Amino acid sequence: MKSSYDLIVIGGGAAGLSAAQYGARANLDTLLVEEMAPGGQALLIDGLENYPGLPEPVNGYDFAERLRSQAEGFGAQFLTASVSSLRKEGKAFLVTTTEGELTAPAVILATGSKHRHLGAPGEERLSGRGVSYCATCDGPFFKGKRIFVAGGGDAACDEAQFLAKLTDKVTMVHRKDRFRAQRSLAERVLKNPSIKVGFNTVIAEIKGEKKVEAVVLEDTVTGARTEVGADAVFVFVGSIPQTGLAGEAAKDEAGFILTDDHMATSIPGLYAAGDVRATPFRQIVTACSDGAVAAHSAAQYIDELRGEGYR
């Protein structure tokens, strides 16, 4: 494997795959580095139904595979490896991976985010024993069981509806008095007879010896607590950006990378796309858009470095 490229994309979710496609289409020698299977959080989606041009729901894995195949068809290369460090040396970036060191004048960070945890007693101890962060992964283990879903955003509503196909004992709790999810998603949850919704409620504790047996619910208004039997708890309460490689790049108060409209960070030649960057709306369609813009901007940046910029 060679070590020098025009553009290196770190992260293989929707943003990264889109960036790899557009980078390759711009005739850049493009490498995408991903430590797991390409697809990112799209792999967890049972039915992607709101992507423009795809009127029929598509499985997240199939969608991700199409993105990967398309990028590869345009000439993008892929490397399965973990990235341990990223630093700029002169006009190039040095990317250290488990498969060796790589260099490129431009890098796109598409490292995404990871699920935020509740922080409730019992959550970590019972993770994998009834506590989960992926409904499509673990939901089938709890058919007909008592399931609690924590969260009020798009992901929580999507996952609750998936779980409601497996059992009519789904209880969704949200700390606010209404969902923050898109209205259409929220309305479906509220109209679903298999889902009971508890607003102004949080899961204060998860109980059980070897598996989840009960949850302690707390009313955020009165502070009153109630213990209720449960078999599983699915947590969808936001995400934590994976910015360990971003170095001194500017970030917002929540830790997301700040970019301009060109997806450029405060470090010349370094771009960010998808869930890792500060943005008011996080969807697969916006991640793909971010990736395309970042790759286009990176191509212009490289042309300028080489004295080939359009005047």
Which sequence spans correspond to the domains of the chain? 7-114+239-305, 117-235
* 55 class by beta-carbon count within 10 Å (0-12 exposed, 13-18 middle, 19+ buried): exposed
What confidence score (pLDDT) does residue 311 get?
Answer: 56
- Is 288 catalytic? The answer is no
- The residue from 6, 29, 46, 134 that is catalytic is 134
* 237 class by beta-carbon count within 10 Å (0-12 exposed, 13-18 middle, 19+ buried): buried
CATH class name, domain 117-235: alpha beta
- The residue from 6, 46, 62, 137 that is catalytic is 137
What confidence score (pLDDT) does residue 59 get?
Answer: 86
Q: How far apart are CA 29 and CA 224, in angstroms?
A: 60
Q: How far apart are CA 146 and CA 221, in angstroms?
A: 25
- The residue from 46, 138, 219, 303 that is catalytic is 138
- Its sign, for the CA torsion 93, 285, 74, 292, is negative
Q: Does the fold of domain 117-235 match that of domain 7-114+239-305?
A: yes
What confidence score (pLDDT) does residue 309 get?
Answer: 63
Nearest in space to 23 (alpha carbons), one of 304, 237, 298, 278: 298
What confidence score (pLDDT) does residue 226 get?
Answer: 97
Calculate ∠ Cα 151-61-14, nearest 5°: 75
- Is 137 catalytic? The answer is yes
**91-110 burial code (b ≥16 CB/10 A, e <16):** eebbbbbeeeebebbbbbbb
Nearest in space to 144 (alpha carbons), one of 172, 164, 173: 164
Nearest in space to 152 (alpha carbons), one of 126, 186, 116, 128: 186
Q: What is the CATH number of domain 7-114+239-305?
A: 3.50.50.60
What confidence score (pLDDT) does residue 63 get?
Answer: 92
What confidence score (pLDDT) does residue 310 get?
Answer: 62
- Is 138 catalytic? The answer is yes
Q: What is the pLDDT along the chain (311 residues), one digit of tens a residue?
A: 689 999 999 999 999 999 999 999 999 999 999 998 888 878 777 778 888 998 998 888 899 999 999 999 999 999 999 999 999 999 999 999 999 999 999 999 999 988 899 999 999 999 989 999 888 778 999 999 999 999 999 889 999 999 999 999 999 999 999 999 999 999 999 999 999 999 999 999 999 999 999 999 999 999 999 999 999 999 999 889 999 999 999 999 889 999 999 999 999 999 999 999 999 888 899 999 999 999 999 999 999 998 876 65
